[in-house]
Amino acid sequence: MKITEIRLGTLSIPLKKPFKTALRMTDTVSSNIVEIRTDEGVCGYGEAPPTAAITGDTDGAIRCAVSARIAPALIGRDVSELNDMLFALDRCVVGNSSGKAAADIALHDLWGKCHKLPLYKILGGAYREFATDYTISLNEPDEMARDALEAVEEGYEALKIKVGSDFRLDMERIEAVRDAVGGNVQLRVDANQGWKPKEAIRAVRFMEDKGLGIELVEQPVVYHDIEGLKRVTDAVDTIILADESVYSPRDAMKLIGLRAADMINIKLMKSGGIGGALKICAMAEASGMDCMIGAMMESKVAVTAAAHLAMAHRCITKYDLDPPILCASDPVKGGVLYKGAILGLSEAPGLGITAIAGVEWEI
């Protein structure tokens, strides 16, 4: 089964509510869809949202990388030769982790379809269901409290609270959410790089002293300040989760060697896809470090790939895969299955995705 064509298109899905963090705000999931076709008529799907504030990847960069560098490196290759194709994909262009992730996901989808098995089984996983958390966007404390209570009433038992814009107001936000939902709901705080190291230490100690029961704090400091991240990790009892500080396996190796955080948040758009994520998982498992599986603001295409990875690796113990839940509609046929907060996968081959409605194809 050989690759004959790679198509690129765009997809836009409105959100139920605007999504706000310390880094950006959006009211839609806007993404680039990659479709890889073979000479036997089988298609693999991948996805790359533009997240310039995080990965540096814009729509233009993604489209140029796919059309000018990635497609020529893959067309004509045999689908069964996955590792060789991933090697070529990684070296055909520097950076562009999101564009590479889209192609990588589509290649893994085709790989599963080639073997007529769901991807998680090809990766050695066993079926299990798991619960995602639900993200509470950055707003005024009373609005965040209302959103949190609404999510709990809908059955979500873990909430990710976005903070990082104003230290004192952040503490008010966290207290307001805890007061609203009570003590039995897991709260995860995501600062999105919004604090300085001393500020982060003061914030986490405040939460600990107040008895707010925060499960973990995600990326409290700017991504490149690994020393500052380690200072925070060493100074507090709460779990510190690295997100933007870890993109590549090389980043993970450095962070694990320094023990600069307690956990790593794996996102396919940062790791360049499943191939890079598998290497991060291997290092985490070898060092005894747990991971979270997360996502950018993505459609069900990339989130499905993340769910297959999560089902294949026991080092992934926490799940932040709620973007499709935040969308007002779902144009993806097949893929990950949601029962409220609970995620599952079908036994369909590959990602289990058969069609995507509303894509505007460009090439």
> Nearest Cα to 18, choosing from 98, 124, 136, 123?
136
> Which helix or strand (DSSP H or E) is residue 29 part of?
strand 25-38
Cα angle value 106/344/133 (rounded, 5°)? 95
Q: Which residue in 162, 270, 300, 318 is the catalytic one?
A: 162
Q: How far does Cα 179 stand from its chain's mean position?
A: 29
- What span, in angstroms and rounded, lies between the C-alpha atoms of 152 and 180? 10
In DSSP terms, 327 is beta-bridged to 15
Find out whether 207 and 170 touch, Cβ atoms under 8 Å.
no
User: Do residues 280 and 271 lie in contact, with contact meaning Cβ atoms separated by under 8 Å?
Assistant: yes
Q: Is 267 a catalytic residue?
A: yes
Phi-psi region of 124 (alpha: psi -120 to 50; beta: other; left: phi over 0): left
Residue 245 one-letter amino acid: S
CA distances from 321 to 8, 31, 35, 158 (A): 24, 16, 22, 12
User: Is 270 an annotated catalytic residue?
Assistant: no
232: tokens are: 């925070």
Active-site residue identified among 121, 267, 270, 300: 267
Q: Whole-angstrom Cα distance, residue 327 to residue 304?
A: 15
CA distances from 147 to 161, 212, 345 (A): 10, 18, 28
Candidates 261, 191, 187; CA nearest to 220 is 191
Q: Which residues contact 262 (CB under 8 A, 6 or more apart)?
A: 216, 233, 239, 240, 241, 289, 290
- Residues labelled as active-site residues: 162, 267
